[in-house]
């Protein structure tokens, strides 16, 4: 079997292929001990080759993985699997947001990542959801019910949280604030897209692609450009790693 | 030398005489030794002649300070600087020592943030903190600091630093017109007068001619080293190259040039025999941007740990310091000072506007170093390099040069993100 494992900052994802067929996939919280977690996830397979990606990739390499690739390359391979003509990828994970440009052959030609702070990442949305009293899974849907948007000016997660608290205390409806939070993420994302450049369609991967408000705001901002995702956007990195394991094997 | 028995040597008695915070500084000394052991002495296939530079690190807080104190005893000036625009030839002509002061460590930043704003350049904060915390023997040894006006953070920090150590300021113009040159020559003359005041004697044209030769030789040795790094496989690591460029700012210049040349002899043999520190497949990266003051090895270490080799530093601690020489044919003082100023005016710092010669220089060095990609490095809050980065990026797009720009400081908190970016950049180059 060819295994791809994506040790992300918030969750660990595993995708397993046998004879070119996707046979298994898993997603669990990284927890306090990502190494133990990862080991228990891959223990069930008879692995011919394991390729690791994500923040914990080097830890995995040290203990069990045969090779590492960056999230950027993994997402490029994974996104192309579903969308073979894809030239632009947005990936928003727990700790970073990235825009990746591919050449016609699917090789990474340019990329942008957020700076070292959490602004515009999944973690940012998670903290804001908690501070506004929403479960993460409902946060985007609630924001879409807003009738009136407000602007969040702070780029820093810590300052944005204070800003959100002061808005709550001025009596601004939480759904409107939620909309403002989503808008601030999309503004940053569009800024990164403009720096890298993009074509007619964009593939959106990473857990945040499940958030309907981010997807809709992004679609609104980009007009005719098509924003598309596969049904399991958070597995794209692990899938890319698994496919990479397979390619290398064939060569 | 192995990792285990390397240490930065301790000189507690001398440090106490220099009014340093000895217990605290001794911890910093141990940490530097450990970091150096891990980052440097574990490298494979290092040239033998790096032993001298390892020793310079070992003696950074001791042997070299002793030498400087010996010079100081004879009444010669010890001048601390923070910029490659301060003409060290003048200090050397007076028989003194010109030293680039400490400013490359996160350890001294909390001292600075007790008084300076947090949102300014980490190098400026680090430098101020070294003096405020009394944790830099160089700062404790200098007669005075000669600052300059190359950025706002420095310019205003000098006023505050002056409360702790006498600090003078050279006005560096922001454009390169004829009238700016006139001002610049006047500023160089003021600097010379200040140096002469400390040593209570006048610098002669013969002294200056000799000093120009000494510093030209040091710069030539560094040029030679840079040219050798263009070979494939690279005969020396980027970390070692950077280290030598950093040591250039505190070592005795004649001896330093000799040792760099001795290393270059060894590297020439390596190149002839096709011996490298890493195989020919390793991606060759040129680093361009803001200076990396010792012990700032963060980006080079990330790049080389990820399997690349750094082949050039287009930086003040790098080629900007040694790419230009002073005309040695002038014999009277006025002409010498004019020739000296002309050389310093060729330095293409982003504090100038316009500064398009730097864009051309980056491309020229990219080609001559046979690099395969450029990593632009900007310290946080360095507005001039951060903005000039736009033009470097555009040039790279136009030329089809793989390019990555990072903005960072001295803290380790973003190492994970930088590692991802750097590895992805190398994946892009490897194709």
Q: What's the domain count of chain A?
A: 2
By the CB < 8 Å criterion, does B423 face chain A? yes
CA–CA separation, B222 vs B225, rounded Å?
5
Q: What is the DSSP-derived secondary structure letter of residue B6?
A: -
Residues A211 and A248 both lie in one domain? no
By the CB < 8 Å criterion, does B424 face chain A? yes
> Residue A160 pLDDT > 90, yes or no?
no
By the CB < 8 Å criterion, does B408 face chain A? yes
Cβ neighbours of residue A57 under 8 Å, at least 6 residues apart?
Answer: A7, A65, A68, A69, A70
Residues A44 and A92 both lie in one domain? no
The model carries a pTM of 0.94
Cβ neighbours of residue A162 under 8 Å, at least 6 residues apart?
Answer: A154
Residues A188 and A241 both lie in one domain? no
By the CB < 8 Å criterion, does B305 face chain A? no
Picking from A73, A96, A113, the nearest residue to B427 by CB comes out as A73
- What are the pLDDT tens digits along chain B (431 aa)? 566 679 999 999 999 999 999 999 999 999 999 999 999 999 999 999 999 999 999 999 999 999 999 999 999 999 999 999 999 999 999 999 999 998 999 999 999 999 999 999 999 999 999 999 999 999 999 999 999 999 999 999 999 999 999 999 999 999 999 999 999 999 999 999 999 999 999 999 999 999 999 999 999 999 999 999 999 999 999 999 999 999 999 999 999 999 999 999 999 999 999 999 999 999 999 999 999 999 999 999 999 999 999 999 999 999 999 999 999 999 999 999 999 999 999 999 999 999 999 999 999 999 999 999 999 999 999 999 999 999 999 999 999 999 999 999 998 888 988 999 999 999 999 98
> Residue A251 pLDDT > 50, yes or no?
no
Contact B424 A109 (CB under 8 A): no
Residues A12 and A40 both lie in one domain? yes
Residues A223 and A183 both lie in one domain? yes
Contact A116 B413 (CB under 8 A): yes
Best A60, A70, A95, A106 member to test B by mutation, with max B CBs in 10 Å, is A70
> Residue A67 pLDDT > 80, yes or no?
yes
- Report the CATH number of the B12-197 domain: 3.40.50.11890
Q: What is the DSSP-derived secondary structure letter of residue B2?
A: -
Contact B428 A107 (CB under 8 A): yes
Residues A164 and A146 both lie in one domain? yes
Best B418, B424, B425, B427 member to test A by mutation, with max A CBs in 10 Å, is B424
Name the residue in chain B with its Cα closest to that of A113. B421
pLDDT digits (tens, 9 = 90+) for A84-115: 999 999 999 888 889 999 999 999 999 998 77
Q: Chain B residues with CB inside 8 Å of A68's CB? A: 423
Residues A99 and A147 both lie in one domain? yes
Cβ neighbours of residue A172 under 8 Å, at least 6 residues apart?
Answer: A150
**Closest CA relative to residue B146, chosen from B172, B169, B123, B171:** B169
**B295 or A148, greater pLDDT:** B295
CA–CA separation, B107 vs B132, rounded Å?
12
Q: Chain A residues with CB inside 8 Å of B414's CB? A: 115-116
Picking from A96, A108, A109, the nearest residue to B417 by CB comes out as A96
Residues A134 and A201 both lie in one domain? yes
Q: How far does B422 lie from chain A, in Å, by closest CA?
A: 9
Residues A201 and A114 both lie in one domain? yes
Q: Between helices B205-228 and B238-247, what is the axis angle to 10°?
A: 170
Domain boundaries, chain B: 12-197, 209-325+349-430
Residues A191 and A244 both lie in one domain? no
* pLDDT for res B3: 66
Residues A11 and A129 both lie in one domain? no
Number of CB pairs, chain A paired with chain B, less than 8 A apart: 36
Third-level CATH fold of B209-325+349-430: Rossmann fold (3.40.50)
Residues A167 and A198 both lie in one domain? yes
What's the CATH number where A238 sits?
Answer: 3.30.420.40
Mean pLDDT of chain A: 91
To which residue do tokens 């506004």 refer? A132
Q: Chain A residues with CB inside 8 Å of B428's CB? A: 107-109, 111
pLDDT digits (tens, 9 = 90+) for A174-222: 999 999 999 999 998 999 999 899 989 999 999 999 999 999 999 999 9
The domain in which residue A71 lies consists of 1-83+234-251
């Amino acid at each position: 079997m060819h295994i791809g494992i994506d040790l992300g900052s918030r969750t660990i994802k595993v995708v397993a292929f046998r004879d070119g067929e996707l046979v298994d996939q898993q997603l669990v919280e990284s927890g306090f001990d990502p190494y133990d977690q990862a080991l228990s996830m891959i223990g069930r397979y008879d692995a011919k080759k394991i390729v690791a990606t994500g923040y914990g990739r080097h830890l995995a390499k040290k203990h069990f993985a045969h090779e590492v690739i960056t999230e950027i390359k993994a997402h490029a391979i994974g996104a192309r699997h579903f969308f073979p003509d894809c030239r632009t990828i947005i990936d928003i994970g727990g700790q970073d947001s990235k825009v990746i440009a591919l050449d016609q052959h699917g090789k990474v030609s340019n990329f942008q990542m957020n700076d070292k702070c959490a602004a515009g990442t999944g973690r940012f949305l998670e903290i804001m959801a908690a501070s506004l009293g929403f479960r993460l899974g409902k946060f985007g849907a609630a924001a879409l019910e807003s009738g009136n948007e407000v602007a969040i000016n702070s780029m820093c997660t810590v300052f944005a949280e204070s800003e959100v608290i002061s808005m709550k205390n001025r009596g601004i409806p939480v759904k409107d604030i939620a909309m403002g939070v989503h808008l601030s993420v999309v503004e940053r994302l569009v800024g990164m897209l403009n720096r890298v450049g993009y074509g007619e369609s964009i593939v959106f991967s990473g857990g945040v692609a499940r958030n309907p408000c981010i997807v809709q705001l992004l679609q609104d901002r980009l007009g005719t450009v098509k924003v598309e995702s596969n049904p399991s956007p958070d597995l794209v990195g692990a899938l890319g790693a698994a496919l990479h394991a397979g390619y290398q094997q064939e060569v | 030398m192995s990792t285990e028995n390397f240490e930065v040597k301790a000189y507690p008695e001398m440090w106490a005489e220099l009014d340093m915070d000895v217990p605290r500084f001794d911890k910093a000394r141990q940490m530097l030794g450990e970091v150096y052991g891990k980052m440097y002495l574990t490298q494979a296939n290092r040239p033998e002649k790096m032993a001298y530079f390892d020793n310079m690190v070992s003696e950074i807080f001791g042997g070299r300070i002793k030498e400087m104190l010996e010079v100081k005893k004879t009444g010669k000036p010890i001048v601390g600087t923070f910029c490659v625009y301060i003409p060290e030839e003048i200090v050397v002509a007076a028989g003194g020592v010109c030293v680039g002061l400490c400013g490359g460590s996160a350890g001294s930043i909390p001292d600075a943030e007790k008084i300076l704003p947090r949102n300014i350049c980490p190098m400026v904060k680090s430098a101020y903190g070294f003096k405020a915390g009394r944790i830099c023997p160089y700062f404790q040894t200098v007669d005075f600091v000669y600052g300059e006006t190359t950025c706002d953070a420095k310019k205003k920090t000098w006023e505050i630093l002056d409360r702790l150590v006498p600090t003078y300021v050279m006005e560096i113009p922001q454009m390169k017109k004829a009238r700016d040159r006139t001002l610049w020559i006047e500023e160089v003359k003021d600097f010379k007068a200040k140096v002469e005041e400390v040593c209570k004697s006048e610098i002669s044209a013969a002294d200056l001619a000799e000093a120009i030769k000494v510093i030209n030789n040091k710069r030539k040795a560094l040029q030679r080293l840079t040219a050798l790094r263009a070979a494939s496989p690279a005969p020396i690591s980027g970390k070692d190259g950077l280290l030598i460029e950093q040591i250039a700012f505190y070592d005795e210049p004649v001896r330093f040039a000799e040792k760099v040349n001795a290393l270059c002899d060894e590297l020439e043999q390596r190149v002839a025999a096709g011996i490298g520190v890493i195989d020919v497949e390793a991606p060759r990266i040129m680093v361009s941007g803001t200076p990396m003051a010792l012990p700032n090895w963060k980006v080079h270490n990330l790049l080389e740990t990820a399997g690349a080799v750094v082949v050039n530093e287009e930086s003040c601690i790098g080629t900007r310091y040694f790419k230009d020489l002073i005309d040695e044919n002038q014999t009277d003082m006025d002409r010498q000072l004019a020739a000296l100023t002309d050389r310093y005016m060729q330095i293409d710092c982003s504090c100038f506007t316009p500064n398009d010669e730097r864009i051309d220089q980056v491309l020229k060095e990219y080609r001559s170093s046979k690099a395969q990609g450029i990593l632009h490095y900007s310290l946080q809050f360095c507005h001039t390099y951060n903005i000039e980065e736009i033009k470097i990026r555009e040039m790279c797009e136009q030329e089809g040069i793989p390019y990555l720009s990072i903005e960072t400081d001295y803290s380790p908190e973003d190492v994970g993100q930088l590692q991802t970016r750097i590895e992805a950049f190398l994946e892009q180059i490897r194709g």
